[in-house]
Structure 1
Amino acid sequence: MLILQRKPGESVMIGSDISISVISVEGGRVRLAISAPVEVPILRSELIAAAAVNQDSAREESDPAALLDLLSGPPPSSP
């Protein structure tokens, strides 16, 4: 892992066609601008992690009857 220090207005190049610029630093937040070709996906790491969790959940097998019970909700209460 490469660790760099940059000030607002400075940038880093990745290869010849990806540029990451520091827009601002306020408190504990850093705003970045990323310029890359449209075929390069740019995703936040937490979205990738959430997608992986969703895929893992979708692969798990569940008893169809148990799923139907969950969907039907609790039985109605009697007065």
Structure 2
Amino acid sequence: MLVLSRKVGEQIVIGEDIVLTVVDVRNDTVRLGIAAPRHVAVNRAEVLRAVEEANRDAASVADEDLDSLRALRPANPED
């Protein structure tokens, strides 16, 4: 991990087209401005983790829910 010190108004450039600007520093909080192309996803890590967890939870199926769905299926005429 690269660790840099920056003051308010100073910038960090990532690649050729992403610019981070230190907007404000108060107590233990740093506000950053991020200029990036629209195709570059920019997310807070905790939000990204919460979305991934919610997707995993939504994709999992409880056995009783699966049994309820099977009960709704019409009987197979070949049985």
Instruction: Specify the alignment match of 1:37 in structure 2.
Output: 37
Instruction: Quote the Cα distance in structure 2 between the aligned partners of 1:15 and 1:28.
Output: 28
**Deviant stretches of 4+, over 6 Å:** none
Instruction: Specify the alignment match of 1:64 in structure 2.
Output: 65
Q: CA deviation at 1:51?
A: 0.9
- Aligned ranges for residues 1-79 of structure 1 at < 5 Å? 1-62=1-62, 63-64=64-65
SS of 2:37's partner is coil
**What TM-score, normalized to structure 1?**
0.76
- Give the structure with higher Rg (CA): 2
User: Which segments of 5 or more consecutive residues in structure 1 lack a partner in the other structure?
Assistant: 66-79
Root-mean-square deviation over aligned CA pairs: 1.7
Q: CA deviation at 1:59?
A: 2.3
Q: CA deviation at 1:64?
A: 2.0
User: Which segments of 5 or more consecutive residues in structure 2 lack a partner in the other structure?
Assistant: 67-79
